[in-house]
């Protein structure tokens, strides 16, 4: 009887201990807040008023695996988004699709794994295929080049403009550039390759345009995590994110997502 009495006493002590000194909870009591600037086909609101796109499919796969609830908020202004993630108490945990940048790295932790490479190519009309080449900017001598006001492109691009190699037809809204190309307002224009080809397929003019094989620029892009986020154990989240994204590359899941968007 003494044996069972000791067990009973120890059980009571253990229950009292856990009642008054519970173990810290590992569950997360809120959603992971994710923000980005909408841009098809990377991220946008679909016809059902839900976030969609390449970025969204990637994070949905990853966070379902991690059993983490999340909420996506689109911010139309990139400047406004930057303001949000620079705050001491930011209302965001993760920001979608950035290239490496010294300023951003003061505030954001970049994933190790890039989920997409975004290139900019020189687009031309399909009927002019074979007429234009691009090895260096001297190949554009005498051509009229479309350009969007405020876009950096590359230093070499603007140097070629300053030397008078090509004439610039500028416009403040980048989305109008493809219309101007189709309208033969200029000969050639640098555009985001993925977004332009996706839009051309969607709107039915993909057979009217093409692009020169050498890119103007190409960069790897990464999803990022806000350093001052209140999310518990952010480094562990980044580590798990990278592990699953690496798995997606190996098992063909990432390639399948890209292919579903015609890429």
Q: What is the pLDDT of residues 65-91, one digit of tens each?
A: 999 999 999 999 889 999 999 999 999
pTM: 0.74
> What CATH number is associated with residue 36?
3.40.190.10
Task: Give the model confidence (pLDDT) of 196-241 as tens digits.
Answer: 999 998 899 999 999 999 999 999 999 999 999 999 999 999 999 9
For residue 261, name the pLDDT band (cuts at 50, 70, 90): confident
For the residues 39-63, what does the mean pLDDT come to?
Answer: 95
Give the mean pLDDT of 167-193.
94
Asked if residue 256 belongs to a domain, the reply is: yes
Examine the domain organization and report whether 55 and 112 are in the same domain. yes
Cis peptide leading into 41, omega within 30 of 0? yes
- Residues 157 and 223 grouped into a single domain: no
Torsion of CA 188, 192, 194, 200, to 10 degrees: -50
Same domain, 38 and 163: no
CB 34 within 8 A of CB 96: yes
| Residue found by looking up tokens 């033969």 in the block | 184
162, with CB counted inside 10 A (0-12, 13-18, 19+), is exposed
Domain extent, residue 92, equals: 32-116+219-260
pLDDT for the residue numbered 16: 42
User: How does residue 175 score in pLDDT terms, banded at 50, 70 and 90?
Assistant: confident
Identify the band that residue 45 occupies on the pLDDT scale cut at 50, 70 and 90.
very high
Q: Which of 168, 119, 162, 166 is nearest to 142 (CA)?
A: 166
Measured CA distances, 213 to 105, 168, 191, 243 (Å) = 32, 21, 13, 33
User: What mean pLDDT do residues 121-126 have?
Assistant: 98
Quote the strand ranges of the chain, DSSP E. Answer: 32-36, 44-45, 51-52, 70-74, 94-98, 108-110, 116-125, 144-148, 167-171, 189-192, 209-211, 217-226
pLDDT over 70 at 114, yes or no = yes
Read off the tokens for 96.
């979608």
Would 197 be classed as within a structural domain? yes
């Amino acid at each position: 009887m003494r044996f069972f009495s000791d067990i009973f006493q120890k059980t009571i002590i253990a229950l009292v201990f856990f009642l008054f000194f519970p173990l810290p909870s590992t569950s997360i009591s809120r959603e992971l807040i994710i923000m980005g600037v909408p841009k098809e086909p990377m991220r946008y609101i679909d016809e059902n008023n839900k976030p969609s796109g390449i970025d969204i499919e990637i994070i949905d796969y990853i966070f379902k695996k991690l059993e983490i609830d999340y909420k996506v908020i689109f911010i139309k202004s990139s400047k406004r988004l930057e303001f949000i993630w620079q705050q001491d108490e930011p209302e965001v945990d993760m920001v979608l699709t950035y290239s490496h940048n010294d300023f951003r790295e003061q505030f954001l932790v970049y994933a190790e794994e890039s989920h997409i490479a975004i290139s900019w190519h020189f687009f031309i009309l399909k009927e002019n295929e074979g007429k234009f080449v691009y090895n260096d900017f001297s190949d554009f001598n005498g051509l009229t080049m479309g350009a969007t006001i405020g876009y950096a492109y590359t230093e070499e691009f603007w140097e070629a403009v300053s030397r008078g190699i090509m004439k610039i037809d500028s416009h403040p809204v980048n989305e109008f550039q493809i219309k101007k190309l189709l309208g033969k307002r200029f000969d050639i224009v640098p555009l985001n390759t993925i977004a332009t080809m996706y839009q051309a397929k969607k709107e039915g003019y993909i057979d009217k345009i093409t692009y020169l094989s050498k890119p103007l620029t190409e960069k790897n892009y990464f999803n990022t995590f806000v350093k001052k986020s209140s999310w518990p154990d952010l480094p562990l989240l980044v580590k798990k994110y990278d592990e699953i994204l690496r798995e997606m590359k190996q098992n063909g899941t990432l390639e399948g997502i890209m292919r579903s968007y015609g890429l």
